[in-house]
Amino acid sequence: MRIKARCPASCGELLQGMIGTNEKLISYPVDIFSQVVIEERKKPKRDMRRKKAIEAMYKTLAYFGESQETGDSLSIEIQSDIPIAKGMASSTADIAATAAATAALFGKRLEGDTLAKICVSIEPTDSTIYEGLTLFDHLRGIRLESFDWSPEVDVIILESDHILDTQVFRKSDYSKERMEIQPRVEEAFRTFKEGALKKDLSLLGMAATISALANQRILPKHQLEEIIETANQHGCLGVNVAHSGTVVGILMERDKTDAQQIKQALKTKNIFQHYHKVYCTRMIHGGVRIIEE
C-alpha cells in the first residue's frame, strides 16, 4: 500500500507574540505544499536530510503501539515546493504530512490536536496543521481558539536570500523584548478577533501589520515601513512577516488589487535589493490532505 499526504506552507504568521502568559501565533496556509509518500519496501528509501520527518514517522508508530521494526521497513519520499529556513513552515509541513501518512498507512487517523502534540515534540509547530485559522501555542502544542473564517486573500511573497534556522533563533533570549511589545501583539489579536467576527478583511490586514511592526524589535525586516507604505498606497489589506523567519507577505483582496503595479512600485523603491524572489500565491484552508494510492 502507498499513501500520499500533502500539507501547506505558511507565509509567516498573521500575528505572533505574548498573549496573556504565553507566546502564541496564528499562521496562515498558502497554496504551496510539501508532499510525502510512504510505503513499505524491502529496501526503504530515506533522505537523511529530512531527519525530522523520519522522527515523525517513528513517533507516530509509537503512538499507535507499532514497533520500531515496523518503521524500519517504510520508505519516505518527500517532494516540497516550500522554501527552507525562510519562515514558511517547511518543517511543519514535512513533519505533519509524514505523521498523517504514517497513520493512514495503518488505517488510522491523527486528529488535529493529537497531530499537534506529535509535531511539537519534534520542534515548535505552525498552526497550518489545522484546517481553519487557529490561535496556537506553538511551543506546547495547544490549540487555544479556532476561527470559522476562510478569508479570500491573495499574497505577494517577498523572499530574501537570507535564511534563519528557527531552532537556533529560539535559543536566543528575547523575553524582555517580547514583554515590551506584548501590548501591541494583544492589540493585533483583538483586531484580528473583531475581523473574524465581522468577516472584515481590512481588520485582518490591520492586525497583521500591527504585529509585523511590533516584531521589528526582535527580528527586523529590511525596508518594512516602505513596504507597508507601498501596500497602503495601492489599496492592499496589510503586510505580515515571518516572526521567526525572513519572508514578508503583502495581503491583497482577491481580484481587487493589481499585483503588477505593486511589484513595479516596490522595484522603484529598491525593495528588491533585499528581496530577490517575488511571487504571488493565495491563502487556503490548512490541514493535511491524505491521498490513497
Q: Extract the C-alpha cell encoding 277.
A: 524572489
Q: Which of 26-35, 125-134, 156-165, 234-243 has the lowest mean pLDDT?
A: 156-165
Helix (H, G, I), strand (E, B) or coil at 292: strand
Task: Specify the pTM.
Answer: 0.94
| 119 and 200 assigned to the same domain | no
- Angstrom distance (rounded) from CA 286 to CA 108: 20
pLDDT tens-digit readout, 211-220: 999 999 999 9
Output the pLDDT for position 46: 78
| 247 and 267 assigned to the same domain | yes
**Parent domain of 35:** 2-147+285-292
Average pLDDT over residues 247-259: 93
- Angstrom distance (rounded) from CA 5 to CA 269: 41
| 270 and 204 assigned to the same domain | yes
pLDDT band at 5 (very low <50, low <70, confident <90, very high): very high
| 233 and 269 assigned to the same domain | yes
Among candidates 89, 150, 163, which has minimal Cα distance to 282?
150
Output the pLDDT for position 29: 98
| 136 and 167 assigned to the same domain | no
Q: Which residues pair with 13 in a beta bridge?
A: 27, 241
Under DSSP, the state recorded for 259 is H
Q: Which of 139-148, 159-168, 194-203, 255-264 has the lowest mean pLDDT?
A: 159-168
Output the pLDDT for position 292: 66
| 104 and 167 assigned to the same domain | no
| 223 and 120 assigned to the same domain | no
Looking only at the bridges linking them, the beta strands covering 153-159 and 277-282 are antiparallel
Q: Is the predicted pLDDT of residue 149 greater than 70, yes or no?
A: yes
Give the rounded percent of residues in the chain with a pLDDT score beyond 70: 98
| 48 and 175 assigned to the same domain | no
Average pLDDT, the chain: 94
CATH number at residue 17: 3.30.230.10
Burial of residue 41, with CB atoms counted within 10 A of its CB: 0-12 exposed, 13-18 middle, 19 or more buried: exposed
pLDDT tens-digit readout, 37-50: 999 887 777 777 78
DSSP assignments along 39-89, one per residue: EE-SS----TT-HHHHHHHHHHHHHTT--HHHHHTEEEEEEE-SPTTSSS-
Q: Is the predicted pLDDT of residue 293 greater than 70, yes or no?
A: no
Distance, first Cα to last Cα, the chain: 7
| 141 and 161 assigned to the same domain | no
Cα radius of gyration rounded to whole Å, the chain: 19
Taking CA atoms, 8 is separated from 146, 148, 202, 289, in Å, by 18, 19, 24, 9
39, amino acid identity: E
Instruction: Check if the beta carbon of residue 18 is closer than 8 Å to that of residue 178.
Output: yes
| 54 and 139 assigned to the same domain | yes
pLDDT band at 162 (very low <50, low <70, confident <90, very high): confident
Instruction: Check if the beta carbon of residue 9 is closer than 8 Å to that of residue 94.
Output: no
Q: What stretch of H or E contains 264?
A: helix 259-268
| 116 and 208 assigned to the same domain | no
Average pLDDT over residues 262-290: 95
Q: Extract the C-alpha cell encoding 204.
A: 485582518
CA angle 25, 34, 111 (to 5 degrees): 60
Among candidates 27, 10, 31, 286, which has minimal Cα distance to 138?
27
Q: Is the predicted pLDDT of residue 103 greater than 70, yes or no?
A: yes
pLDDT tens-digit readout, 73-100: 999 999 999 999 999 999 999 999 999 9
Output the pLDDT for position 91: 95
CATH number at residue 161: 3.30.70.890
